[in-house]
Amino acid sequence: MEDCIFCKIVKGEIPSNIIYSDEKIMAFRDVDPQAPTHILFIPRDHVASSAAVRDNSLWSDLVGCAVKTAHELGLDPKGYRMVINTGSEGGQSVPHLHLHLLAGRNLGWPPG
């Protein structure tokens, strides 16, 4: 999608700190990290939000990639959080589906 910032990252049109990439999923560091580890996992193809997912296999690709990355980064013992903000009340600011992987500090609950 032309004006989508995450599509521009996929196309290499704007810089990002990429930590994983395959034919379906990309992962890169959040530009404004909210925890010592803050990584975003996105589908390469534009999907506006979780509400727009039509192929449920995307969930296993996205979550599976995040869980595997967390394991490889050594996050399992202390734990981590995965978050998908959806829509305005869900706190979504970028309209391209993304899963946040957060770790490295005690994360409060409930979220703000």
Cβ closer to ligand AMP: 67 or 84? 84
Q: What are phi and psi of 6, to 5 degrees?
A: -75, -30
Distance CA 106, CA 87 (A): 26
Cβ 32 to ligand AMP shortest distance, Å: 4
Q: Side chain identity at 63, as an amino acid letter?
A: V
Cβ closer to ligand AMP: 76 or 90? 90
Cβ closer to ligand AMP: 70 or 101? 101
Distance CA 36, CA 80 (A): 11
Cβ 84 to ligand AMP shortest distance, Å: 8
In the residue annotation, 98 being an active-site residue is answered as: yes
Please identify which of the residues 46, 71, 96, 98 carries the catalytic annotation.
98
Task: Give the interface with ligand AMP as residue ranges (CB under 6 A).
Answer: 5, 14, 16, 28, 30-32, 40, 85, 91-94
User: Within 13 Å, how many C-alpha atoms sit on residue 99's CB side?
Assistant: 24
Cβ 98 to ligand AMP shortest distance, Å: 6
Distance CA 18, CA 33 (A): 14
